[in-house]
Structure 1
């Protein structure tokens, strides 16, 4: 059964546009993107290369200021990063000289949380991601999947209400990727964070989400929104079901059978 999400928007993209300088001109990464994400919802974003997926997340994170429009979180316009919006990238960005525990504690230390409370909270989330036996290990001794689990624990430790994840499993092998998908969903079902998850993998997008947002490129905008009416917890049986296969086909066609910019212009 799917976890219940409220109808009130947690994140609102209101006609968001953003361009980058390119070869003496401009490249429109996002063009008037409007999208609401509910509190507690798990939304994945897929689309062809150059469709603005990462730009969308960076604007939501406050790492980029949109050229036009606004992103609103809990009724407040985003004007910069916030600890309420945890960001997880494909690159783990762990401090190599710090243990797993110290990496997870880092954001709490910056926030002025006392040593005893930092340790308690870090241990909770280290256990949550299955790294208790490696709490004192340095990142160089960890596998890629373990490093990403450490990054997820670090994001959770500062108690964000939103997780923004930019292809966090993209560099991992297929088996580790599936294992981390299941672990992430288990954590989400217990913690009820709002998740915006960027991926280029259609199977991953369908398996994780309440809704899949399909982006169109040049300029980047919302092409389709596809509801994923599959029960949680998601299991291998669901992944192999006819319903999953049909949703996968629908998302695949929406991503890879889009009209070209020239075709859109002439229509």
Structure 2
């Protein structure tokens, strides 16, 4: 399946990815073609082993494709780039640095002057609701606060793209819902192109303007579902008939595609 967008910020062109483990080669992705438009929020969901994270890592420049290519703004990805921020499920904060210093880290690498760094950090700490915790260490934060710090750090270096690999997967249900709302609030105020990998159907619908459903063995795009719910998304929207309809469509595509039910028996 190929989706073509004239103003694509991220473009996967017939992406193929193979890995060799203990002498056996397997195909993680086969013929993945997808465009993600500038400023679009896309979620990628699918059964275990469908290559969601592999696809994201290719976009981040963390691995070299076996075949095909990934383009960012019409330039082929050949390694990590400051234009792209990556947030993983693990918090990846420096435990010896305060919240402020963690958010400031990338700005220091870019040699931004101290006065400007402070202004930028203050802005993003306020945006994610961590101003009161600027001098706290990561060990003093909850899981949700750590991820808010990671989001602020990613935004602070002004990337054009955010790649997020199940960033809320380790959180409890209520914190996860709050973080989804916080992320959308931040994205609404300062829009970036977002590719968000998740295994949670509700999360995929609530966040995205478009859900990409993957099929496994080998990983490939199975279905695309447009989420025709307006932004901003609200808690009440989760209880609406429209949300239930879209959730059912995604659930059907993820769990009732050929081979999935048999694989879990």
TM-score normalised over the length of structure 2: 0.95
What is the rounded CA distance, in whole Å, between the counterparts of 1:74 and 1:11 in structure 2? Answer: 6
Please state whether the residue corresponding to 1:229 is helix, strand or coil.
Answer: coil
Summarize deviations over 1:235-256 as a string: whole Å, max 9, x none.
1221100110011011001001
What is the rounded CA distance, in whole Å, between the counterparts of 2:81 and 2:121 in structure 1? Answer: 19
What is the rounded CA distance, in whole Å, between the counterparts of 1:22 and 1:49 in structure 2? Answer: 18
What is the rounded CA distance, in whole Å, between the counterparts of 1:8 and 1:22 in structure 2? Answer: 38
**What's 1:65 paired with?**
64
Summarize deviations over 1:129-179 as a string: whole Å, max 9, x none.
000000000000000000000000000000000000000000001111111
**What's 1:236 paired with?**
235
**What's 1:3 paired with?**
none
**What's 2:125 paired with?**
126
What is the rounded CA distance, in whole Å, between the counterparts of 1:207 and 1:152 in structure 2? Answer: 18
What is the rounded CA distance, in whole Å, between the counterparts of 2:223 and 2:6 in structure 1? Answer: 20
What is the rounded CA distance, in whole Å, between the counterparts of 2:81 and 2:91 in structure 1? Answer: 19
Are 2:232 and 1:226 equivalent residues in the alignment?
no
**What's 1:214 paired with?**
213
Please state whether the residue corresponding to 1:69 is helix, strand or coil.
Answer: strand
**What's 1:166 paired with?**
165
Please state whether the residue corresponding to 2:205 is helix, strand or coil.
Answer: helix
**What's 2:98 paired with?**
99
Unaligned runs of 5+ in 2: none
1:1-267 aligned at under 5 Å gives the runs 7-260=6-259
Q: How many residues align?
A: 257
> 1:23, CA displacement in angstroms?
3.2
Summarize deviations over 1:95-154 as a string: whole Å, max 9, x none.
000000000000111111111111111111011100000000000000000000000000
- Give the CA RMSD over aligned residues: 1.2
What is the rounded CA distance, in whole Å, between the counterparts of 2:87 and 2:27 in structure 1? Answer: 24
> 1:7, CA displacement in angstroms?
5.0
Contact 1:44/1:211 (<8 A) preserved: yes
Contact 1:7/1:39 (<8 A) preserved: no
What is the rounded CA distance, in whole Å, between the counterparts of 1:30 and 1:114 in structure 2? Answer: 43
TM-score normalised over the length of structure 1: 0.94
Please state whether the residue corresponding to 2:247 is helix, strand or coil.
Answer: helix
Please state whether the residue corresponding to 1:230 is helix, strand or coil.
Answer: coil
Distance 1:7 1:190, change over 3 A: farther
What is the rounded CA distance, in whole Å, between the counterparts of 1:260 and 1:78 in structure 2? Answer: 33
